[in-house]
Amino acid sequence: MRGTKVTFDADKLNYASELMRALAHPLRLKILEFIDENDSINVNKIYSNLDIEQSITSQHLKILRLSGAVSVEVSGKFHIYRINYDVMEKASYAVNRFVGKA
């Protein structure tokens, strides 16, 4: 066994695992792609254009929001979603570095 000690910051590790879990779902990736194509969009347009039930869309958006992948702005009765590109860029860099592509 090596003499190198492996340590992790528990908070950072927890955040990274939640973010990767959020990004690892095919439907959530499809939702992110749709938001990206539209810059910002409300939940009604997401579920109607992607032909997904409203409740399922809301559940997936909640996971994306809690992970920091998207932000939401409430405007009247509409919830407008935007991608948090800073978070996405860091996640992309981390994944590419992990798999040796950075």
Q: Is 5 a member of any domain?
A: no
CA gap 61, 59 in Å, rounded: 5
The answer to whether the beta carbons of residues 62 and 21 sit under 8 Å apart is no
Q: Is 20 a member of any domain?
A: yes
pTM of the model: 0.86
pLDDT tens per residue across span 40-91: 999 999 999 999 999 999 999 999 999 999 999 998 999 999 999 999 999 9
CATH of residue 21: 1.10.10.10
For 69, the domain range is 10-98
- What is the pLDDT at residue 99? 86
